[in-house]
Amino acid sequence: MKNILVNTGFWLAINNHNDKHHNKSIKWMIDNQDMDYRLATTWVVMCETFFLIKNCVNYQKAVGLFESYSRSEFDIYDLKKENSARVIDIMKKYQDLNIDLADTSLVALAEQLNTGDILTVDVNHFSTLRWNRNKRFKQLLK
């Protein structure tokens, strides 16, 4: 089974009919429903996502996303203390991009899971960010 990373913008687009990336995100989910993959994200991304869905869509949609997690529809990983030095290195390296902890946590998760496949609408950051020092992310929503 292949792991696919998920960033906040993708979760928001799926849950917000007014998001400009909504149709593309839904289409990706439908087109790839038979693929052998597992969606993976971090608790940092999930906290950011819940906040945005709650405030930009509604509270019920935010709770619904967490209900899908409780049904084991995707995995949420911790940002472990032993990864903190790497996360800080990434933040310092890319400080000119003003990346947030959520994006940085996904770089660390990419290295942990050995995958750069990602569902994100953040084309700029994930075109620049590298995992395992020099590997490019493969943005699946293009």
pLDDT for residue 98:
87
Has residue 52 got a pLDDT over 80? Answer: yes
pLDDT for residue 90:
93
pLDDT for residue 82:
86
pLDDT for residue 83:
84
Pairing, β 138-139 against β 75-77: unpaired
pLDDT for residue 5:
98
| Pair of tokens at residue 50 | 């819940």
Dihedral sign of CA atoms 120, 125, 129, 135 in order: positive
Q: How does pLDDT run across 64-102, given as a tens digit for each residue?
A: 999 999 999 999 999 888 889 999 999 999 999 989 999
The CATH number of the domain where 126 resides is what? 3.40.50.1010
Range of the domain at 27: 2-139
Q: What is the tally of structural domains in the chain? A: 1
